[in-house]
Structure 1
Amino acid sequence: MSKEVSEEGQGRKDYVDPPPAPLIDMAELKSWSFYRALIAEFIATLLFLYVTVATVIGHKKQQDACDGVGLLGIAWAFGGMIFILVYCTAGISGGHINPAVTFGLFLARKVSFIRAVAYMVSQCLGAICGVGLVKAFMKHPYNSLGGGANTVASGYNKGTALGAEIIGTFVLVYTVFSATDPKRSIGSPSNRVRSVHGSLGYHPHHRYWY
């Protein structure tokens, strides 16, 4: 009898797998929380692009290597903004702030198709508006420095840069999935903030670009 109880206890899960999200959930379109999540993703992506692109432009236009943000400052800008924005939006939208994260969660059936598409549209619109603010406030350096857009640095080829992008995106999405895995003993929706531990891995390949 005790053996049966022991085997039953060993087979019992100490976590609960959430049900897969429906592919199409029209009920979401009638929920205010859905639109609130879209607003959160829009604002978060806007702020992220505004701060990071402005930081990159500031680095590019500096004349003295010791008088500016430097590459470490760029890393802190990316990592710090991800930390803050994920903390602020995790309980509202999940704190995706990146189409790659949203697409990965959609493939894993963590979000519905409608929510995934709406999130990615909001993120792209937020990114456009964020960069638009940079151009409005820093018009001359923005135009002269190519808008802070990525370019492959000398000494590296496009294949290396592409590989760095793939690895960096993989690390980001993998970290998000690990942080939100229900099998973790302290896993909870709020622990999406732990994904910021990989935030410096969000663009670990900055040396290939600037």
Structure 2
Amino acid sequence: MSKEVNEEGQTQTEEKQMKDYAEPPAVALMEMGELKRWSFYRAMIAEFVATLLFLYVTIATVIGHKKQTGGTCDGVGLLGIAWSFGGMIFILVYCTAGISGGHINPAVTLGLLVARKVSLVRAVGYMVSQCMGGVCGVALVKALMKNYYNGHGGGANAVAAGYSKGNALGAEIIGTFVLVYTVFSATDPKRSARDSHVPVLAPLPIGFAVFMVHLATIPITGTGINPARSFAAALVYNSTKVWDDQWIFWVGPFLGAIVAATYHQYILRAGAAKALGSFYANHTK
């Protein structure tokens, strides 16, 4: 009987004995039983409220900045806007991670679906909740800051002057790749077992990734990397230009999320090599 050997020359048995962590099994793609559990609906509510709060604070920050730049001061500046988005993600992921996983972004949810860490049922439920929560959050900003909201673009994403749609799409793909790659790395069970402080600090690198991506892409697209954020702002502001560019803020983040999930799971974590090794082991016995 042949033994399966990993890249470092260890057998499966030796590798298992050396592990101090448990690799969670892949989630069933169609887990219809989730529809009968209160935990599923509680998680959807958490995603709804978290995305509502995220959009309310961040869009209000964008509108407030644009209002002040037309007056006597420069507002919070692009750095402040980036901190607003990154800081809110840090806070909300910390608050909701134990309930829903703290996705707050359909692209993150898609990446976790590709990696089989959530079911299709849960992924669809989360995406709907995130989009609805985002719309309510932006609508709340419009209700409280109506005149300034309408006069300063509603915080909606669009391709900036001087950039092509291709430039914008590339920026969204790369930006979302950075975010989703960070999510996978920060929540990796192997890293959590090796460094006991990681589960507590996981929201920090995720929020910091959002902050850094905003610094790079605000001048290009206003930074989407979150289809719920872009859709909510577009729906409430309702501008032809914004709707014309809307596809970029879905296609870009989704492609970036898929590439990041595939890279982490099947290259860095050697998912493809393990699957191939298992195939050969089963056919050489």
TM-score normalised over the length of structure 1: 0.88
**Matched AA of 1:153:** A
Residues 131-154 of structure 1: CA distance to partner in whole angstroms, max 9, x if unpaired? 110111111111122211123333
CA distance in 2, matches of 1:11, 1:92: 30
Q: Residue 110 of structure 2 aligns with which residue?
A: 103
Q: Post-superposition shift, 1:86?
A: 0.4
**Matched AA of 1:117:** V
Q: Residue 229 of structure 2 aligns with which residue?
A: none
CA distance in 1, matches of 2:15, 2:111: 32
Structure 1 gaps, min length 5: 1-5
Q: Residue 206 of structure 1 aligns with which residue?
A: 218
Change (3 A) 1:139 1:34: same
Identity %: 68
1:131 to 133, 138, 156: 138
Asked if 1 retains the 8 angstrom alpha-carbon contact of 2:88 and 2:207, the reply is no
Q: Post-superposition shift, 1:48?
A: 0.6
Asked if 2 retains the 8 angstrom alpha-carbon contact of 1:41 and 1:93, the reply is yes
Is residue 2:206 matched to residue 1:195? yes
Asked if 2 retains the 8 angstrom alpha-carbon contact of 1:180 and 1:189, the reply is yes
Q: Residue 45 of structure 1 aligns with which residue?
A: 51
Aligned length: 205
Asked if 2 retains the 8 angstrom alpha-carbon contact of 1:171 and 1:201, the reply is no
Equivalent positions of 1:174-189 (< 5 A) are: 174-184=181-191, 185-186=194-195
Q: Residue 141 of structure 1 aligns with which residue?
A: 148
Higher RCO, 1 or 2 (CA under 8 Å, sep at least 6)? 1
Q: Residue 165 of structure 1 aligns with which residue?
A: 172
**Greater CA deviation, 190-199 or 85-94?**
190-199
Structure 2 gaps, min length 5: 1-9, 223-285
CA distance in 1, matches of 2:45, 2:212: 26
SS in 1 for 2:190: coil
CA distance in 2, matches of 1:61, 1:93: 35
Residues 14-63 of structure 1: CA distance to partner in whole angstroms, max 9, x if unpaired? 32210100111222112111111111100000011111111111122222
Asked if 2 retains the 8 angstrom alpha-carbon contact of 1:28 and 1:34, the reply is yes
CA distance in 1, matches of 2:182, 2:173: 14
Residues 55-98 of structure 1: CA distance to partner in whole angstroms, max 9, x if unpaired? 11112222258441111110110011001000000001000000
Asked if 2 retains the 8 angstrom alpha-carbon contact of 1:172 and 1:201, the reply is no
